[in-house]
Amino acid sequence: MNDPDNEAEQALKELDADETAKGERIDQWLAARLQPDLSRSRIQALMREGAVHLNGQPATEPKRKLVPGDRIVITMPEPAPAEPVGEDIPLDILFEDDDLIVINKPAGLVVHPGAGNWTGTLVNAMIHHCGASLSGIGGVRRPGIVHRLDKDTSGVLVVAKNDLAHRVLSEAFADHGRTGDLERAYDALVWGSPARVAGTVDAPLGRSGTDRTRQAVVPETREDARHAVTHFTVLERFGQKEDATAMAALVECRLETGRTHQIRVHMAHIGHPLIGDQDYGRAFFTKANKLGDTLGPVVRMFPRQALHARLLAFSHPVTGEPMRFEAPHPQDLAELLEGFRRWSPNGKT
């Protein structure tokens, strides 16, 4: 018979910082003491969820430095539902070997099981497709997710099939290509157009104060502020005027960091939210009324943010071989772009 009191004790992890903690980041110090039970990334996730308390207060910033005597309490969440099961979901596979698989993810496909989406995800599809070729991530036969695309963002995504590939690729994505060969390019169709052909948005992101499911640009002094940098290049302008303003533009975005909803929030921050973005561009929806009877209804009915992960390049985690993959625009985005080109035949920048 299970002992309820013992189970309650197991739900908490309590630690007192000693002299070794002086000046150490809280996530690093905890990871060094709690591995293999809790990895650093898992600790960071628990902090974001409010499950880590420092001296009785929520500790949400992994960079927080410790001092001897600090009291840390981790409240472990209830066990997650059973491991995902394989499901026969079609995959557009760009490349596959014993270590990894690269797919062209369609819009509408959730990457990982979670609240409200325990089935029908990319992970379920991968378990079915890969079968015994998955040697296991952390001792469990499941695919290793090293980066994600929003449910309604399409494009290139790589998934690890074993622990080694998962570790090497995770390190590459955490580094964001600063010291390696990682390269990511996204195509975004936005309202209006930046005045300059190329530029950079350097603005920290954190949880929105009005909706916890959304991100927002926040002051860098805020405890949960996370450094975020997006580089953009205008590829086409539609409905361009003499002052270089336009009704819409196709913009290539390259990430220097990889935060949740980064491109969507950054483009909205500079006044050019993505067409179709229900979360960050709703105030611009009436602009479709200026597009006429042919294009206007198409834009109003576009069911998702117009964002596509077109390019992904990286070094193979085992062989070191350079790998580069591009996915053409999916049909819905291609038709939307063609509609803008017909509406504005001189749309090239």
**163 classed as catalytic:** no
Q: How far apart are CA 157 and CA 147, in angstroms?
A: 7
Q: Where are the alpha helices (DSSP H) in the chain?
A: 4-10, 26-34, 40-48, 122-130, 163-175, 262-269, 292-301, 331-343
Answer yes or no: are the C-beta atoms of 55 and 47 closer than 8 Å.
no
Answer yes or no: are the C-beta atoms of 131 and 87 closer than 8 Å.
no
- Element spanning 192, H or E: none
Q: How far apart are CA 128 and CA 254, in angstroms?
A: 32
Terminal CA-to-CA distance of the chain, rounded, Å? 72
Beta strands at 229-238 and 198-202: parallel, antiparallel or unpaired? antiparallel
Tokens of 234: 């205008």
Q: Where are the alpha helices (DSSP H) in 67-196?
A: 122-130, 163-175
Give SS3 for 275: coil
Tokens of 130: 């890969």
Residues contacting 224, CB < 8 A, separation 6+: 48, 60, 61, 206, 207, 218
- Out of 27, 70, 150, 332, pick the active-site residue: 150
Of the candidates 111, 161, 92, 151, the residue with the CA atom closest to the CA atom of residue 131: 161
Enzyme catalytic residues: 150
